[in-house]
Amino acid sequence: MKNEIALVANNSRLPVIHGTTIKLCGSTEINDVATAARYAAELLELWGKYLNKPLRKADKDAGARFGTLIFELYCATQRAEDMLDSLLREKQEGK
């Protein structure tokens, strides 16, 4: 457990990401953040292809809010991935 990214997050005063399986040494495995980012990207794609027009037609405000929530989730997961990548690079460089 001492090599998990959650411990690095604590040392950097960043929120702990529970359930991560990224190891700081050796290879990286699929983790919660990467999975969430992938799901958010899929939601955004589905929103654009199938849900945007029908939901906005049914209720313009609800459609706009739902689209905004999906987009904000996508952006938040991208930032979290970038933060983890940065932490991993710093750890690998010995900083």
Assigned domain for 38 exists? yes
> Which pLDDT score is estimated for 48?
96
Report if residue 14 sits inside a domain.
no
- Closest to 80 (Cα-Cα) out of 35, 23, 29, 19: 35
**Residue 36 domain flag:** yes
- pLDDT value of position 41: 95
Which residues span the domain enclosing 80? 30-93
Q: How many domains does the chain have?
A: 1
Kindly report the CA angle at 57 between 78 and 45, in degrees rounded to 5? 25
61 is a domain residue: yes
pTM for this entry: 0.64
pLDDT digits (tens, 9 = 90+) for 44-95: 999 999 999 999 999 999 999 999 999 999 999 999 999 888 888 888 898 6
